[in-house]
Structure 1
Amino acid sequence: MDYRVRDLTTSVPLDHDDPSGERIDVFCREVSRPECTHAPAFVFLQGGPGVESPRDLDGVAWLATLTASSPDAVYDAIVANVHAHSMAYYRRYPGDVTVMRRLVDRLRERPEPLDDGGRLTARRLLDLGMLLGSTGGPSRLHSLLDDPFIDSAGKHLRWSFIERVRRESHYETNPLFVLLQEAV
């Protein structure tokens, strides 16, 4: 698919409560199809405060889908991609199917309090599926699921497991992610 790329920077306030104060430059990229003059706008935020965004577009699989498709087709492609990552993970680590089911059942019955005031719920645990799309993420998820229960009945979770899930699922360093992320 042919697309046009325009790299830009924009100056924004470091503190939006003080718009006349210190400013920072933020990199942004406009991607468009040359033949489409009235395409809907989309925003892609990759990186974030303290996280560097890759600027190389080669190998960005979703880009061709995004620039070539309708919004419905994009979501269909995302769902297919998420499903493919999940199936590949469970083919590699088939024992994790049972572990994940036990954890989800346990957390639906009784969520766990977290040291930061949050709660470890089944939904928060399942959100860790986002790791499957990151480099090294599948191995990190498998390691996390290695031995989560203290007892064989699966009633009590290890503190180390709870803490590792909290660290993997926190958004303090990427606050925009939690606000803008749409669960598919």
Structure 2
Amino acid sequence: MISTSYQIPGLVLTDHDFSVPLDHAQPHGEQISVFAREVVAVDKTHANLPWLVFFQGGPGYASPRPDSNGGWLKRALRDYRVLLLDQRGTGRSTPLTFQTLARLPSPQAQADYVKNFRADAIVRDAEAIRQTLAGAETPWTALGQSFGGFCLLTYLSLAPQGLAAALITGGLASLTRPVDDVYRATYRRVLSRNQRFYERYPQDVARGQRIVDYLLTHDVRLPSGGRLTARRFQQVGMGFGASNGFEEVHYLLENAFVAGAHGPEINFVFLRALESMQPFDTNPIYALLHEPCYCQGAAANWSAARVQAEFPAFDLHAAANGQTPVYLMGEMIFPWMFEDYAYLQPLQAAAEILAAYDGWPRLYDVDVLRANRVPVAALSYYDDMYVEMAFAEETAHTVRGLKLWVTNEYDHNGLRADGERVLGRLLDMLHGAV
């Protein structure tokens, strides 16, 4: 372990780099680095505090970069020494990108490498880090947001002895349902969000139709490479699950066109903004492993693409002809993305191998969860676009002793939007104060 400490106003930060096996089943094989940032309040630098480790949503996203003592971190630092974990392949951990995968000799080798980046490997990394920082006999508390909550359900299944408590926000995954069930529920939720969006911004119906019609008949190139196709534009609805998602898309659409040398054309400002909303190039783990993160002993086989046929409302040609609004997509992944996104193109063959792979190990042990003795407090968002509420309730009833808070006060980003209150209530639930 290599560590470096420094201070920003109100916080002392310590950077830790840990070496872990790429494949925990082969502890003496290839090693990768996992980065984690320790955060403690200045006035508690030398205090003997318990640890709280944070699991970020995703998959494939780095932990937050603290710039002040605010949000959920402010509440956590009253009681804990916080560890912000860059899950393997993200942030300052050994990166997984089109550049790093290019060193491998074949698509099969790339796919075999990527198979080591699901929640089970992330949990085993965390256990190795816990034993180094806290000691083998000292469990820690974990906070998981969205996919981070999925990771905590895996943690409770594989290594409950490592947890003093678990706090989950928007991350109660189904324990047993097949991936197609997940995407059917997702399409229904996304369709409902679209309807609410157009109720708020009816003027955007025509704007969306005009954009799709233009993209179906013109070759539009993006600033960083690749083509803006109509189907890629349709993915801007991914943010609809956040509290500011409708506004972000609305303000994007209102600047879609400018008067160019040969008539109306897509605004360069629009293209730049759209690219910033689509991080698949820079976070390829999401595109490669989003569907497999729901798979246990079965292949995904491009579930979202197959299930889409059951939801004709998302047909782009009907929208271009003015027959329906453009129904925007949520967090669905499609095989065509490895054609349209310039920096996913080198990973297309590996993505096909991963989509067809049916040897994914189990992530959850239902028997262990039914006998759970780790205190768990969870928040589920009633209108969550990303995690089906009915499935979350099934999981909550399965995990012994889990305390569940259900609310429609927040969208999926509740921890980011009002973190001090959200975490405070979960801790009160954990300690029996509410």
Partner residue in 2 for 1:164: 273
Q: CA deviation at 1:22?
A: 4.1
Which amino acid letter does the alignment assign opposite residue 62 of structure 2?
G
Tell me the equivalent position of 1:86.
194
Q: Which amino acid aligns with 2:232?
A: R
1:137 alignment counterpart: 245
Cα-to-partner distance string for 1:4-49 (whole Å, 9 max, x where unaligned): xxxxxxx454xxxxx63443279xxxxxxxxxxxxxxxxxx72524
Q: Can you give the 5+ residue segments of structure 2 that lack an aligned partner in the other structure?
A: 1-19, 23-28, 37-56, 65-143, 150-166, 291-303, 305-331, 334-434
Larger RCO (alpha carbons 8 Å, 6+ apart): 2
Q: Is the 8 A contact 1:112 1:119 kept in 2?
A: yes
Give distance in 2, aligned partners of 1:154 and 1:85: 33
Q: 1:176, 1:154 → 2: CA distance? A: 40
Selected match of 2:60 from 34, 48, 52: 48
Residue 33 of structure 1 corresponds to none
Measure, in 1, the Cα distance between the counterparts of 2:279 and 2:256: 19
Tell me the alpha carbon deviations over residues 84-103 of structure 1, each in whole angstroms, 9 at most, x when there is no partner: 11111111111111100000
* Deviations 1:104-160, CA, capped at 9 Å, x for gaps: 010011131112111111111101111111231111111101121113997311111
- Out of 155, 169, 184, the position equivalent to 2:264 is 155
- Is the Cα–Cα contact under 8 Å of residues 113 and 119 in structure 1 kept in the other structure? yes
Equivalent residue pairs, number? 149
1:57 is aligned, of 149, 153, 168, to: 168
Q: Is the 8 A contact 1:120 1:166 kept in 2?
A: no
Whether contact under 8 Å (2:223, 2:271) holds in the other structure is no
How far apart, CA to CA, are the structure 2 residues paired with 1:167 and 1:81? 24
Read off the aligned partner of 1:57 and give its amino acid letter: I
- Letter in structure 2 aligned against 1:160: V
- In the alignment, which residue of structure 1 is the partner of 2:92? none
The normalised TM-score by structure 1 is 0.66
| Same amino acid, percent of matched pairs | 28
Q: Which residue number corresponds to residue 24 of structure 1?
A: 34
Give runs of aligned pairs for residues 66-145 of structure 1, distance below 5 A: 66-67=174-175, 69=177, 71-145=179-253
Larger Rg: 2
Cα distance in 1 for partners of 2:257, 2:247 equals 19
Q: Deviation digits for residues 165-184 of structure 1, max 9, x if unmatched?
A: 12212324421112234437
Q: 1:121 to 1:128 in 2, by over 3 A?
A: same
Structure-2-length-normalised TM-score: 0.31
Please tell me whether the aligned partners of residues 12 and 25 of structure 1 are also in contact (alpha carbons under 8 angstroms). no
| Paired residue type of 1:48 | G
